[in-house]
Amino acid sequence: MEKNGGRVVSSVELAGKCRVKAHQVRKDLSYFGEFGIRGVGYYVKDLLREIKRILGLNKEWRMAVIGIGNLGSALLSYKDFLKQNYKIVAAFDIDPAKVIGRVSEKLGKPVEVLHISRVKEAVKERKIEIGLITTPASEAQNVANILVEAEVKGILNFAPAQITVPEGYVVKDAFFTTILDNLAYLLSST
Amino acid sequence: MEKNGGRVVSSVELAGKCRVKAHQVRKDLSYFGEFGIRGVGYYVKDLLREIKRILGLNKEWRMAVIGIGNLGSALLSYKDFLKQNYKIVAAFDIDPAKVIGRVSEKLGKPVEVLHISRVKEAVKERKIEIGLITTPASEAQNVANILVEAEVKGILNFAPAQITVPEGYVVKDAFFTTILDNLAYLLSST
DNA sequence: GGATGTGAAGTCGTTCACAGCT
DNA sequence: AGCTGTGAACGACTTCACATCC
């Protein structure tokens, strides 16, 4: 909306785009503050700034990818990270063949692939706060342990495995076949 | 559990693995029927069969991938689909360079990449029920329209765009930066 | 004895209706 | 007049406690 030159937006418009009710949009936003103007709507620019602030996107998040298979490689060359405030600043694999030479060339600055044994040092040096696990399921918990050991507070787990971490650390699952299962359920129960 | 030879499992065990309470596991399962045995627990084999039946995974789901970039390619060579009852039986792109020759060779039977104009015929011939959108955001709605036109009832959208479809069709978003935003929120509000 | 299944109680989130601003 | 913000009503989900069954 900001790019398209939109100045104001109403809760009804937002609701349409988000597949929810207008009530909900207003209630949810009001939980964090009063961002709109009665009789007018929400100024796009202000609302965007507030939402970014709420989500914690007013800073750069430095991330590491562990497991440079198909998915890991795709993430390394994922350009839209730049639009958001996310940045992959390190990549790791256990396979020496991948470690030697493999880099992500599509972004401005290539990221070389390091051996997994170097996670802890790299996390410290490069101020990494989020780890993306893209290993096979069998290695996910091991990698999570390594990340916790390195004091990476947030983990986004793409592997099809439930991993556990100590109190104070956050894991989110981004495993798409769960969503696919949900889709299959909806399709077969109609 | 089934592979590890587990015969029975309790709601407490299941809860631990799923990061929920045991109450919840029992309540949720009981919604669909009585699958457990009082004083014993749930027989792993029976429970698995019931859950698969509930989710609609007791049949093969035939899928198409549209957009053969990094992510699309990763999906084409994703081996774990075979373990579940999902199968990619068609791939499409708009770029002739990708259409010519590009195939997924890692699975048993390669899937050749077709031009997007051939979606409708392929969906009919190959009995495709689910479409995976892995195009850039700008093309996601167009592709969704094509899939709806071809009467693909379910869409899993990996593109960072909100797409809309008519009543009777189901869209699920599998866009990981939403989860990443959620993670960033949790990390910055502690 | 021990674990499930389930009404009832409690909590949380959504919807409503309208007061409050512009 | 129009749209947001919000207490109150409503509905849904979660938790509890215990009856039930192996």
Tell me the per-residue pLDDT of A72-114, one tens digit each, with 9 for 90 and over: 988 988 888 888 899 999 999 998 777 765 555 554 567 889 9
Percent of chain A with pLDDT over 70: 95
- Chain B residue with minimum CA distance to A159: B80
pLDDT tops 60 at residue B139: yes
pLDDT tops 70 at residue B109: no
Instruction: List the single protein residue with the shortest CA to C1' distance from D3.
Output: A39
In the structure, what pLDDT confidence band is assigned to residue B77 with cuts at 50, 70 and 90? confident
In whole angstroms, C20 C1' to A38 CA is: 8
CA A104 to chain centre: 18
- Chain A residue with minimum CA distance to B185: A55
The whole-chain average pLDDT of chain A stands at: 91
Total CB pairs under 8 A between chain A and B: 125
B-chain residues near A18 (CB < 8 A): 162
Tell me the per-residue pLDDT of A126-176, one tens digit each, with 9 for 90 and over: 999 999 999 999 999 999 999 999 999 999 999 999 899 998 899 999 999
